[in-house]
Amino acid sequence: MKIKVAGETKEVKDGLTLTELIENEQVENPEYVTVSINEEFLERAQIAETVLKEGDDIEFLYFMGGGR
């Protein structure tokens, strides 16, 4: 099936979980990443149980703090 990850179309296996995608994409610091699918933010608990579907658009976001 085809999904979009960070703007790039990718071919992945059917039934791929979000956890597997995070591992496959070698996301740095996965415990701190925020994930959106189709522009909807997921709760941390949803990540482990989410199975991706054809056409999903996934973004990995890191919120930075700091500055003056």
pTM comes to 0.87
Domain 2-61 = CATH 3.10.20.30: yes
pLDDT digits (tens, 9 = 90+) for 43-68: 989 998 999 999 999 999 987 666 66
pLDDT digits (tens, 9 = 90+) for 12-31: 999 999 999 999 999 988 88
pLDDT value at position 29? 87
Q: Where are the domains of the chain?
A: 2-61
Is 34 exposed, middle or buried (CB count within 10 Å of its CB: 0-12, 13-18, 19+)?
Answer: middle
- β-pairing, 40-41 vs 8-11, is unpaired
